Amino acid sequence: MPWLRGPRKPSSCLPTPDIRTCHCQQPPCSAVFLPTALFIPSLVLQIGAFSLPPASSQRSPLLCSRVVYTSCHFPWRPLSGPPEYQFRSAHARRRVGLRERKCVRARRFPSGRREAPVPGAAAGRGSAVPEPPLPAMGLLSDPVRRRALARLVLRLNAPLCVLSYVAGIAWFLALAFPPLTQRTYMSENAMGSTMVEEQFAGGERARGFARDFAAHRRKTGALPVAWLERTMRSVGLEVYTQSFSRKLPFPDETRERYMVAGTNVYGILRAPRAASTESLVLTVPCGPDSANSQAVGLLLALAAHFRGQIYWAKDIIFLVTEQDLLGTEAWLEAYHDTNVTGMQSSPLQGRAGAIQAALALELSSDVVTSLDVAVEGLNGQLPNLDLLNLFQTFCQKGGLLCTLQGKLQPQDWTSVDGPLQGLQTLLLMTLQQASGRPHGAHGLFLRYRVEALTIRGINSFRQYKYDLVAVGKALEGMFRKLNHLLERLHQSFFFYVLPALSRFVSIGLYMPAAGFLLLVLGLKALELWMQLHEAGAGPQEAGGASGPGPPLPPAQSVGLASLVAPLLISQAMGLALYVLPVLGQHVATQHFPVAEAEAVVLTLLAIYAAGLALPHSTHRVMSAQAPDRGWMALKLVALIYLALQLACVALTNFSLGFLLAATMVPAAALTHPCGPRPLYAALLVLTSPAATLLGCLFLWRELQEAPLSLAEGWQLFLAALAQGVLDHHTYGALLFPLLALGLYPCWLLFWNVLFWK
């Protein structure tokens, strides 16, 4: 009857098919009535098609589509109510047939050949189409393509490694040239203009303060604390003192001190128009070997001048520290209520706001010919680039000659001479930053997120000289611009290298140099992984991938037990190198006629040399039936270990990471137990961390135009070893633990690979 069918919908009004219901993409079966006798068997067959075992599950989609097609195309009529969908069987049949033909046409064998037609199976109804297994998907899952890729990687690995290493070195050398280096610019809006009128005119007063300070220092033989307190109070500051003491792990023969004690004196100028929430610091370190009298005199003169101004929005702290950097570290730890170096100090009685920026001043005389700026801090930290730009801007405004690493900045960057001079400055900064030592009192402020610089006055034989008034005006201008800051310096770069004061290279431009070097380690690791994978392939896979020839015999598997011994022994040697020199110094002084510092250095060298016996130790521990390819697995682990270490170091201290990568990567890539062992052994020794340190010392003095002889270089090398251990235990420098606990054990792994039996 017509009323049982209901109104017929046009085909354009049919709803969108739901592909989740059935594979034939018909309207949802819940919207129509299906006879129970046909729907339940079709549902059972459909579930069974998806639950077939893996061997037969490749035919399940086609089976499902045919079952649902049969069940959905049975003639039917709804029993009651107008239907929501109108089924058009001819149209649906054409769609399903087209899908089946596409599925059959798309199936291929793994080798890439099309499906061969079955004889006698024409396109008529009921013809059976053979359905081979679905092909393996992906490039690496196909054995033929995988073997081809492995052969390509093995064939091109050596040229790619050489090209990558040369590209990394060339990229680093090109950093000083204008395509990669950029002009510096001020990013902070509050410091973008130098339109401030410097009014400092206390040159004579500063020289008077300097003479009185030097006289009282000679009289007392130490920092004249009482005189400093009295003078700071006379200029209107809140004056406080702090006493501290520190026992060094072993005597510092460079400065001739072991039990260190001293007193810091600081005065606070309160901001007249703001709360004490933010502050600036001007500090003068006074060491046992440098009085720094002119800097103290200029500090007191600036304090007297700043006291008469009313525009200060931040507190200003005038700090004079004793015992050089130890006094600065003691004051910073007490100011921030922390103790990271074991310093014993009295608590601070007076505090100001959070320190936003700091300037450290060092003057060798009352007249200067240039101002040199130091930016390298503890563990390679650098201040915000805007602070350095501010220093250069006020030096240019006052006509002061400013230098970086003691080098004048080139005037002409279009010729070759300018970039070559900038390359020397860049190399000097790289060596200074890689050492991880704080090159000035500012380096300790950077640990506490305080942007800081060290400004040194140089008095050379140049014709033009400047008095303390010019230096004081530059410092006044910098403090007035820092006084305008509404927040911490954050707009400019924190990771950069400097070929000159007016040029910089950002992190996005210098990191590819380290990336190319680390790519060599990745390529060699990929080559070893391919070799191990192909050697460990079974006879079925190897024979199937090789074609009709005989299958390859299964290679001997790599035992993990053969890798445990060298890994544990190398790490134990690194731990001994880190712990024993300081702990065993007293035993060494009792049995040998050496001082404590010499005992520490000699113990370092002895443990370092003892690591060369690692292959003999590991072969005694390992089983005599170690696999022949165990050295490949060990080198693979060592390459990954070295790459991870160098990548992490290069992100935080690019200079250190690049220098280590430039020296250690070639030896790590070339080390092989089957090659010329004497040549590889010499290469490994020359690129070890200790040899890298020795070479950097010679290069540093050569760039400073003060070359060293072999004897002088050896003495400087021994002093650098002792200073590195002392800086770690005194200030928390991380270079010594990195070399002892990370790179030295990794180097021992390559040494073990070379002498693998």
Pairing of strands 451-458, 315-322: unpaired
Greatest Cα-to-Cα distance within the chain, rounded to the nearest angstrom = 126
Q: What is the distance between the alpha carbons of residues 516 and 242, in angstroms, rounded to a whole number?
A: 50
- Are the CB atoms for 354 and 278 separated by under 8 Å? yes
Q: Is 373 a domain residue?
A: yes
Distance of CA 224 to the CA centre of its chain: 44
Which distant-in-sequence residues (6+ apart) come within 8 Å of 57 by Cβ? 50
Q: Is 115 a domain residue?
A: no
pLDDT of residue 748: 93
pTM of the model: 0.77
Q: What is the distance between the alpha carbons of residues 444 and 449, in angstroms, rounded to a whole number?
A: 10
Q: Is 515 a domain residue?
A: yes
pLDDT of residue 117: 47
Q: Is 113 a domain residue?
A: no
pLDDT of residue 437: 92
- Are the CB atoms for 618 and 566 separated by under 8 Å? yes
Distance of CA 727 to the CA centre of its chain: 22
Query: Residue 376: helix, strand or coil by DSSP?
Result: coil
Nearest to 739 by CA among 728, 731, 750: 728
Q: Is 138 a domain residue?
A: no
H or E element, residue 404? strand 402-404
Nearest to 327 by CA among 256, 261, 239, 281: 261
Same-domain status, 667 and 747: yes
For 506, phi then psi, to 5°, come to -80, 170
Which distant-in-sequence residues (6+ apart) come within 8 Å of 97 by Cβ? none
Q: Is 578 a domain residue?
A: yes
Which distant-in-sequence residues (6+ apart) come within 8 Å of 615 by Cβ? 751, 752, 754, 755, 756, 757
pLDDT of residue 30: 42
Same-domain status, 479 and 620: no
CA distance to 42, 49, 58, 391, 412, per residue, from 69 (Å): 9, 14, 19, 81, 81
H or E element, residue 521? helix 507-535
Q: What is the distance between the alpha carbons of residues 550 and 543, in angstroms, rounded to a whole number?
A: 6
pLDDT of residue 499: 94
- Are the CB atoms for 663 and 434 separated by under 8 Å? no
H or E element, residue 320? strand 315-322
Q: Which residues of the chain have pLDDT under 50?
A: 1-89, 96, 104-128, 136-137, 538-556, 623-625
Q: Is 541 a domain residue?
A: yes
Instruction: Give CA torsion, residues 651, 655, 657, 662, to 10 deg.
Output: 140
**Cα Rg, the chain, nearest whole Å:** 38
Which one-letter amino acid corresponds to residue 337?
D
For 346, phi then psi, to 5°, come to -80, 150
Q: Is 586 a domain residue?
A: yes
Q: What angle do CA 282, 248, 736 make, to 5 degrees?
A: 85
Neighbours of 583 (CB within 10 A): 11
Same-domain status, 102 and 205: no
DSSP 8-state class, residue 412? -
Same-domain status, 395 and 529: no
Q: What is the distance between the alpha carbons of residues 532 and 551, in angstroms, rounded to a whole number?
A: 17
> How many angstroms separate the first and last alpha carbons of the chain?
94
Q: What is the distance between the alpha carbons of residues 373 and 388, in angstroms, rounded to a whole number?
A: 8
- Are the CB atoms for 302 and 478 separated by under 8 Å? no
Which distant-in-sequence residues (6+ apart) come within 8 Å of 594 by Cβ? 588, 602
Nearest to 493 by CA among 520, 511, 481: 511
Instruction: Give CA torsion, residues 234, 235, 238, 241, to 10 deg.
Output: -70
**Full domain range(s) for residue 716:** 153-171+510-548+559-754
Same-domain status, 316 and 455: yes
- Are the CB atoms for 703 and 427 separated by under 8 Å? yes
Same-domain status, 602 and 459: no
Neighbours of 310 (CB within 10 A): 7
Q: What is the distance between the alpha carbons of residues 20 and 599, in angstroms, rounded to a whole number?
A: 78
Q: What is the distance between the alpha carbons of residues 546 and 550, in angstroms, rounded to a whole number?
A: 8
DSSP 8-state class, residue 348? P
pLDDT of residue 110: 44
Same-domain status, 98 and 200: no
Q: What is the distance between the alpha carbons of residues 481 and 387, in angstroms, rounded to a whole number?
A: 10
Question: What's the CATH code of the domain at 258?
Answer: 3.40.630.10
Strand partners, 457: 363, 371
Same-domain status, 198 and 278: yes
pLDDT of residue 115: 46
Domain count within the chain = 3
Pairing of strands 370-374, 402-404: parallel
pLDDT of residue 231: 95
Structure tokens at 538: 């079974």
pLDDT of residue 88: 45
Same-domain status, 470 and 517: no
Of 501, 519, 538, the one marking the end of a domain is 501
Q: What is the distance between the alpha carbons of residues 680 and 691, in angstroms, rounded to a whole number?
A: 15
Same-domain status, 458 and 516: no
Nearest to 484 by CA among 194, 155, 261, 755: 194
pLDDT of residue 749: 93
Which distant-in-sequence residues (6+ apart) come within 8 Å of 234 by Cβ? none
Same-domain status, 291 and 363: yes
Same-domain status, 491 and 526: no
